[in-house]
Structure 1
């Protein structure tokens, strides 16, 4: 297939892929954060004895309140149930690390960095596709009407198919693989156009080739 007809077919598939990419790049609805667990602790002081019963949530640090609990424990009918244990459950000071909270911030940062990288890569892909369609319609199509080139839309068809898979699965390892393949496919489309324009008999191709090189540079930017 040669000339403007092949380019029009390619543009149509690229425009379809662009619509799919924009839908896939739409933000997900925000997820509700997990509810923090409450630590059940009774303590009279950092070094004094303490006791706790299951099902009660309170924290005791005042000496007077601790004394009342001690007296209630000694009163008839107030003995601890079998299986309950007493020990030093002193509360952590504000500067002490809490083990159950140490792993969560690091994990959240790794997920955030990964999601940010994917979002940036997707954004570059959408922008490059949009810019490519614009350059083909406004610059390359009029040029091919004067100097036909042998083009084939198979790469654009493959690009659209990859983008369609991405829209079906917007996260996970398969999505990341499809995103990488889409990047490589669009890179191939742009590079083939640049090489094809190099055989033009005049300098009229230079503005188009320059625009395509800029699109490729932005697509591959880190």
Structure 2
């Protein structure tokens, strides 16, 4: 059996994990936009027309010299127009799904991760609050079996996850953090079952609500 001191130790580790989670859940700082490149407008490398110097021979294009490219452009435009009028869809790009589908999948995945992180932060914050305001007074009357090692492991997982920020390892750490916090809450609920009076009922109800919100999809 453990008293208030053991619970305070657990709360301390959970509060440390909460601060780490809040920092990891903060949005990334925006990247500075790329600076536009400066182009020359004069000289041999300029984008504008280059005029010949006096006395310098310049090449003169005879009229009709660009007739063939112009006819090719007209023919290409005509073929595209006929394809649009016939309603023929553009051929699918080889090599896999289109870019917009990849972006959509990435966006949905990021939204799911943000939602999971948000639930983890909220559940941790609520758990610390319930332990401080409801569970701690009960332990002063009757000691309960506690497991501070779970809170230490939870803090360590959150610290490792904060170093990743993204990627597969981040997702694995996030999953492990969810499972660890779930275990902490479930063990507290089981410990309250041995309490001699009904005063534990509000605490167990609050813990079950936290667990339900944590596991919500």
TM-score range, shorter chain: 0.7 to 0.9
Indicate which of 98, 106, 118 corresponds to 2:101: 106
Aligned residues: 180
Q: Deviations over 1:23-48 (max 9, x none)?
A: 000112345899xxxxxxxxxxxxxx
1:166 correspondence with 2:153? no
Indicate which of 105, 112, 125 corresponds to 1:130: 125
1:90 correspondence with 2:86? no
Aligned match of 2:26: 26
Aligned match of 1:219: 214
Aligned match of 2:179: 184
Q: Deviations over 1:106-162 (max 9, x none)?
A: 011000000000000000000000000000000000010001112131000000000
Aligned match of 1:83: none
Residue ranges of structure 1 left out of the alignment (5+ in a row): 35-68, 81-85
Higher relative contact order (CA 8 A, sep 6+): 2
Partners in 2 of 1:97 and 1:28 — Cα distance?
38
Give the TM-score taking structure 2 as reference length: 0.74
Q: Map residues 144-163 of structure 1 onto 2, 5 A cutoff.
A: 144-163=139-158
Q: Cα 1:70–1:33, aligned 2, differ >3 Å: closer, same or farther?
A: farther
**Structure 1 runs of 4+ off > 2 angstroms?**
29-34, 86-100
1:201 shift after superposition = 0.6
Give the TM-score taking structure 1 as reference length: 0.72
Aligned match of 2:4: 4
1:71 correspondence with 2:73? no
Alignment RMSD: 3.1
1:72 shift after superposition = 2.7
Q: Cα 1:70–1:109, aligned 2, differ >3 Å: closer, same or farther?
A: farther
Q: Deviations over 1:73-105 (max 9, x none)?
A: 36xxxx99xxxxx786438569664867x7111
Partners in 2 of 1:97 and 1:117 — Cα distance?
33
Residue ranges of structure 2 left out of the alignment (5+ in a row): 35-61
1:2 shift after superposition = 1.1
Partners in 2 of 1:3 and 1:89 — Cα distance?
84
Partners in 2 of 1:137 and 1:97 — Cα distance?
63
